[in-house]
Amino acid sequence: MSDAGTASPPPRRRWRQRLLVLAALLVALSLVATWLLQPKQLVPLILDRAGEALSLQITASPDAEARLRGTPQLVVHDLAVREPGGDAVLLRAKRVLLSLPWSSVRSGGKDIVIRRIELDAPELDLAAVRAWLAKRPPSEETAIPTLTDGLRVIDGRVVDGTLRIEDLAIDLPALHPQRRAHTRIRGRAIDGALKLPFDLVVAMSRPANGAGLGIVGTLAFEGDDWRLPVAVKLSGPLRIGGDGIAMTPATLGASARYESGDTRLPFALGLRGPLRIADGTATLAPAGVALRGDGTTSIPSTPIPTLDAHGAMSLGKRLILRLDGTLPHWPETWPALPPPISTSTSPLPFALQYEGRMDLSDTTALSLRRDAMAFDSRFRLPALLDWLGQAGGSPLPPLDGTLRAPQMTISGATLEGVQVTLDEEEIE
């Protein structure tokens, strides 16, 4: 006889209990999924996971948007990216949109296909980014993602010490690892009193190391009382590595015009050589240089000389020039040389050195030779160009210099062992 207290429930009752438990679990899972799929809960989880993968702390305001139907899309506001425990913000943005297909979500990063990225008012701190990258372990070459609907950046800002880029706008229609890509980049670089608005189109044969890169567009160096608009073309094979960016060789052609007051001095410049960009400094060495003046202006001809040179140049916090070359002839618009120097048709070898501000307003050292004559000088280029462009001013140029010649004829008198010194008090 069985014990009534331990009797098993009938089969129908057991199934009913199991169905009730299963229904309760489904309801609980549905509630959890609904909670997780709310943007306020889902977005922080996504940002935390991305931050852990990059050793970063990524936060955003609660008013996020997430869409999971169709192509998943995430929109966050007031994004801030920091190193854990750090105060410096590597990247902040007013709004970020990220849209990517489910195949990319399921691939776990193996299939990097993104539909579209949008950044509104991003601000990037390059010094903080470099500090973070220095702590990252070495990795293999970064995979190039596919952007089917491209990238858009508006009202961007980049800060690197005293240098900043404002009003940055980037429009990249699409990006594929094995296809040609082009993007338009606009903005304005500012460093102290120097401003550099730019509008450039950048094209690549494909986004990979060793691919061909071409940049075409306009920029303008602007100081307090002068301006240098430039139409530029740059091309060469691009390589990006842990030690910076390199183009070997890089070929640059520029059509420019120096403007100050009523002075207009057009010229063309060509550069060629291995280019390296690292730590905010661009270096071209050894460099081939070709400078050509252009007389198609309101003044009869320009004082910009025609010359060819070789040497090295560096552009970063300071501009450094080291050039050796030859003037084929003395420019007609420059002050006439006394005989017998003026009667010689020999070319004039020269050496030029400059280190200072990017507007060339610091002291330039120039040495000239012709036959047995030697002229060593120091001057400030803006003052010298203004003097060359004016008529009826001082007969003596604004420079320090020493002219040495074994023989010179002045006012019909022939002088032997001549040494002439010019002294400009403002030259330091």
For residue 2, pLDDT beyond 50: no
Higher pLDDT, 52 or 216: 216
Q: pLDDT of 244-262, one tens digit each?
A: 889 999 999 999 998 888 7
Cα–Cα distances (Å) from 37 to 53, 70, 74, 101, in that order, read: 22, 15, 12, 17
The secondary structure of the chain, three-state, reads CCCHHHCCCCHHHHHHHHHHHHHHHHHHHHHHHHHHCCHHHHHHHHHHHHHHHHCCEEECCCCCEEECCCCCEEEEEEEEEECCCCCCEEEEEEEEEEECCHHHHHHCCCCCEECEEEEECCEEEHHHHHHHHHHCCCCCCCCCCEECCCEEEEEEEEEECCEEEEEEEEEECCECCCCCEEEEEEEEEEECCEEEEEEEEEEECCCCCCCEEEEEEEEEEECCCCEEEEEEEEEEEEEEECCEEEEEEEEEEEEEEEEECCEEEEEEEEEEEEEEEECCEEEEEEEEEEEEECCCCCCCCCCCCCEEEEEEEEECCCEEEEEEEEECCCCCCCCCCCCCCCCCCCCEEEEEEEEECCCCCCEEEEEEEECCEEEEEEEEHHHHHHHHHCCCCCCCCCEEEEEEEEEEEECCEEEEEEEEEECCCCCC
Q: Is the pLDDT of residue 283 over 90?
A: yes
Dihedral pair phi/psi, residue 292, rounded to 5°: -135, 125
Residue-level pLDDT at 308? 92
CA distances from 16 to 4, 12, 34, 121, 365 (A): 21, 6, 27, 58, 98
Mean pLDDT for the stretch of residues 335-346: 75
pLDDT digits 0-9 by tens, 83-100: 888 888 999 999 999 888
Provide the phi-psi class of 184: left if phi over 0, else alpha when psi is between -120 and 50, else beta. beta
In this prediction, residues 8-13 reach a mean pLDDT of 59
Is residue 424 predicted with pLDDT exceeding 80? no
Higher per-residue pLDDT: 23 or 284? 284
When the pLDDT of each residue in the chain is averaged and rounded to a whole number, the result is 81
Looking at per-residue pLDDT, the higher value among 275 and 194 belongs to 275
What pLDDT shows up at residue 247?
92
**pTM over cut 0.85:** no
pLDDT of the residue at 67 = 75
**Residue 292: is its pLDDT beyond 80?**
yes
Whose tokens are 């509630």? That residue is 31
As a whole-number percent, the residues of the chain with pLDDT over 90 amount to 34
Say which range, 27-41, 292-306, 365-379, has the weakest mean pLDDT: 27-41
In which band, very low, low, confident or very high, does the pLDDT at 426 lie, cut at 50, 70 and 90?
low
**350 or 392, which is more confident:** 350
Give residue 53's pLDDT band: very low, low, confident or very high (50, 70, 90): low
- Which residues lie across from 268 on neighbouring strands? 255, 292
Q: How far is CA 425 from the centre of its chain?
A: 38
Task: Give CA angle at 385 (379, 390), nearest 5°.
Answer: 125
